[in-house]
Amino acid sequence: MKTLVSRDNIIRLLLLVALGGTLYKGFLKTPEGATLFARQSFYNGLVNDGENTSIMKERHRDVLEATDKAIKVRLDELRAGVYKPAPGSLVSEDSLVRAVRKNLATRARAMDDELRAAEKLERARRLEAAGWRMGWACPPVGEAQP
């Protein structure tokens, strides 16, 4: 007669428990599960992600502004004759002018990124304030949302 408590049965039970835990934790990562069982954690994650993105974009813009100022100072020094690049140097008046133009375009894109990050944070805060919850059914395609 086989015993119910054997080494193989204990291993099977532990594997089933581990699989169940994995499924549950994975379900909590979905919007459906998170808004149902871990609502505050879900909202905290959304708002925290929005804040981090916004801060990161602000820092990126600050770095680009500092880089732009440094390039303009070097260009002014070159034009005034204070700075003379070494022979064979990649730095020239043309390269500095191109760097200023490139940095201007990059800063414009960075400002757009910063605006999108602020919108993302505001959207997360609105969802939290409204107590939004992901439903189980999808609305039919093409029908107006209330």
pLDDT above 70: percentage of residues in the chain: 93
DSSP 141: T
pLDDT surpassing 80 at residue 129: yes
Q: Which residue has the higher pLDDT, 139 or 6?
A: 6
Q: Which residue has the higher pLDDT, 18 or 38?
A: 18
DSSP 91: -
- Nearby residues of 64 by Cβ (< 8 Å), 6 or more positions away: 103, 106, 107, 110
Domain layout of the chain by residue ranges = 39-130
Output the pLDDT for position 1: 56
Output the pLDDT for position 4: 82
Q: Count CB neighbours of 34 within 10 A.
A: 20
How far apart (Å, rounded) are the C-alpha atoms in residues 93 and 61? 24
Tens digits of per-residue pLDDT, 12-29?
999 999 999 999 999 998
